[in-house]
Chains A and B, each alone.
Chain A
Amino acid sequence: MGSNSLHVLKGINFSVEEGELVAIMGSSGSGKSTLLNILGMLDVLDEGSYTLDGVPIKNLNETKAAQYRNKFLGFVFQSFNLINYKSAMENVALPLYYQKVGRKERQEKALKYLEQVGLREWADHLPSELSGGQKQRVAIARAMAAEPKVLLADEPTGALDSTTSYEVMDLIQKINDAGNTILIVTHEPDIADMCKRIVHLKDGVIVEDKKITQVRASQYV
């Protein structure tokens, strides 16, 4: 990454238990995305160690990393990152395709997850034909399709209005209720309050890490 290196994260010591729903907060540039990307194996750490499900993640070759991303991790991005020439269903089916699941089973599962996010009727639509909230729900369905243990969401509600944000959070809470571990990067305090734990970052260090009582999003929907 260029010749002059920049220390974004400086000594972070933190662990997440199975089934947690963690919000990562902090001002812009504090290193939230960087942390999440390292946890998601999209970026690599220079120093220190990272253990995922008991496996030390260090110097993995790209093939191994791809397998972990596929089986353990699901991503939701602020900008949705759907593949725009594939229909909603095909987008959701992608992680299964990479697992070499058969075509028929793939479609069935994809429809099942679209159903869960309430977009079954939109299965054949291209992303360009969906609203922002719908896109994000497709992205969540896609992240869940491979049944990952951990869901990583970088500002999943960043591009959505508050009503739609709550819909998305409702979905995320339900997924968490089902036992998945979820980490969400967010700027919005009301979104953070819907998690079970809030981690505050500032200039690459954790300044606060507290458990909270979860606010259910369903009451706003």
Chain B
Amino acid sequence: MLNRDRWREILEVLTTNWFRTVLTAFGVFWGILILIILLAAGKGLENGIRANFGSIATNTVFMWSQSTSMEYKGLPKGRRFNFKLEDVTAIRREVGNLRFVSPRNQLGGFNGANNVVRGIKTGAFNVYGDYPDIINQDPMSITSGRFINHLDIDEKRKVAIIGEGVRSSLYEMGEEVVGTYIKIQGVNFTVIGTYKKNSNNGNAEEAQKEIYVPFTSFAQAFNQGDNVGWMAITAKDGSSITQLKEQVFEVVRENRKIHPQDLRAIGHFDLYEEFSRVVSLFGAMRWIAYFVGILVLLSGVIGVSNIMLIVVKERTKEIGIRRALGEDPWSIRLQILMESVFLTIISGMAGISFGALVIYLINYVLDANGPVEMFANPSVSLGVVLIALLILIISGLLAGFIPAQSAIKVRPIEALRAE
């Protein structure tokens, strides 16, 4: 099927009119190039947005208490309440498939008053009372010292881990941090470590200006009792927190005497749901890329089909001679289909290669100039390249089909009469 004579003939036909062949090839080249670049750009956007979610465990829901909106068991509506530590144990006990349940209390916040003092330097920072698990839900890299551990919790040690942003406002450059003291709302804490968060999103600055202290020492130092400000709950891989969160809420409502239908009493933010929404957006973007790319490619394919028709027309007499000599019509069809597929694949491969080059250059520029917001590492996978190749082969066959048919349709004698 693919012997030397066939190849020679294919090359013969395609090289007789170079200019025409190149122009035709350009249509397919362009189509596949656009397809590849659109897909790569989509991937770049996806990578960028995924990086924005950072390394936060995305299967996580954050919940906090608001005020009740319904009367229940004699308690009035509009009642303020707090989660309690026992809620945390109850959740752990009654809801399966949860990986982490981390209670947290918090001081300060955006634009808060100065709450931390070291010598003559002061600053306004978020101060969190946390459990050690939180480092798995909102990962950070420890740049010196260590993070909170269970001994700190059990012994209610007054220790603190500070962000690089806190360090730069409270310390001199190069000053030793671990082992020093800072005063948080009048209470002394020993600094045992510093951290850095590596998400590259907009509030990266803000994320470095936080202070972590053990949950238990926080509660004692700032008189929180067994109150819990909010919780970060992560489901195990394989189960979705979006499905589990209602069970969690039920447990808390039950414990806190909140009406089962009171949806407003507990506020929450479902990272998984947000994430899924974004992920489905990527899916839509991919479809658009395929749609646009394939439409452009289609016009290229029509060009190929057109040229093949002209080639067949020009070679009518030759085809007539070959049929008079007894060539099988399938062999003639095959020849034309192969010419068409060959032309499509060659020009498509050129498009894919050129697309790869463009992507490489974009990555090179991105690497050289540092990260750009919402865009990172555009790329196409091998799978996409294989799909593109498959599309090319199919479209080559489609492009050749009508011309191949028309080569056989005329009676040999008519073909021979052609000039």
Contact = CB atoms under 8 A, between A and B. Distances in A.
Interface of A: 37, 40, 42-44, 62-63, 66-71, 73, 75, 77, 81-83, 85, 94-95, 97-99, 103, 142, 146
A66 B330 CA distance: 10
Given A62-B329, A63-B330, A81 B411 contact: no
29 contacts: A37-B413, A40-B324, A42-B413, A43-B413, A66-B327, A67-B326, A69-B324, A69-B325, A69-B326, A70-B325, A73-B326, A75-B324, A81-B317, A81-B321, A81-B324, A81-B416, A82-B321, A83-B321, A85-B12, A94-B322, A94-B327, A98-B325, A98-B326, A98-B328, A99-B326, A103-B3, A103-B4, A103-B5, A146-B325
Interface string B343-381: 000000000000000000000000000000000000000
B408 A62 contact: yes
A169 to B, nearest CB: 22
Contact of B411 (A44, A66, A142): A44
Nearest to A139: B321
B326 A146 contact: yes
A69 B12 CA distance: 26
Given A42-B413, A43-B411, A66 B328 contact: yes
Contacts of B317: 81
B323 interface: yes
A117 to B, nearest CB: 17
B149 interface: no
Contact of B328 (A42, A44, A63): A63
B412 A42 contact: yes
A74 to B, nearest CB: 9
A63 B329 contact: yes
B318 interface: yes
B110 to A, nearest CB: 79
A142 B321 CA distance: 11
A77 B411 CA distance: 17
A40 B324 CA distance: 8
Nearest to B411: A43
Contact of A42 (B3, B318, B324): B324
A119 B99 CA distance: 89
A191 B322 CA distance: 28
A99 B327 CA distance: 8
The 6 A-B residue pairs whose C-beta atoms are closest, nearest first, are: A70-B326, A69-B326, A42-B413, A43-B413, A98-B327, A42-B412
Interface in B290-329: 317-318, 321-329
Contacts of A97: 5
Contacts of A73: 326
A43 B330 CA distance: 19
B168 interface: no
Contact of B325 (A44, A63, A142): A142
B331 interface: yes
Given A69-B325, A103-B5, 14 more contacts: A42-B411, A43-B413, A62-B408, A63-B330, A66-B326, A66-B328, A67-B326, A69-B323, A69-B326, A70-B325, A70-B326, A75-B324, A82-B321, A146-B326
A152 to B, nearest CB: 10
B413 A66 contact: no
Nearest to A81: B321
A73 to B, nearest CB: 8
A42 B330 CA distance: 17
A190 to B, nearest CB: 27
Given A42-B412, A77-B416, A97-B5, A71 B329 contact: no
Nearest to A75: B324
A143 to B, nearest CB: 8
Contacts of A94: 322, 325, 327
Interface string B2-20: 0111000000100010000
B375 to A, nearest CB: 52
Interface string B393-409: 00000000000000010
A103 B363 CA distance: 51
A85 B324 CA distance: 18
Contacts of B408: 62
